[in-house]
């Protein structure tokens, strides 16, 4: 998934679920999106976090 696609998907999920979403780089180098409270990987692999409650 490209960074633009990951950002669009993460923003859509954050707005729909009203939870913070993280975009992270998986072990194979691809980007993936997951709710922040479910992410238990290496913090250095997080590319961006989208929080719908942030000002």
Backbone torsion region of residue 49, taken as left when φ is above 0, otherwise alpha when ψ lies between -120 and 50, otherwise beta: beta
Residue 35 clears pLDDT 90, i.e. is over it: yes
11 in any annotated domain: yes
pLDDT one-digit tens code per residue, 6-34 = 999 999 999 999 999 999 999 898 999 99
37 in any annotated domain: yes
Tokens (6 digits) for 25 = 């780089």
- Does the predicted model carry a pTM greater than 0.85? yes
- Distance (Å, rounded) from C-alpha 1 to C-alpha 55? 27
18 in any annotated domain: yes
pLDDT one-digit tens code per residue, 37-52 = 999 989 999 999 999 9
55 in any annotated domain: no
41 in any annotated domain: yes
Q: How many domains does the chain have?
A: 1
């Amino acid at each position: 998934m490209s960074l633009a696609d990951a950002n669009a998907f993460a923003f859509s999920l954050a707005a729909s679920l009203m939870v913070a979403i993280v975009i992270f780089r998986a072990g194979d180098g691809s980007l993936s999106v997951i709710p922040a409270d479910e992410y238990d990987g290496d913090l250095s692999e997080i590319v961006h976090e989208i929080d719908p409650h942030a000002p």
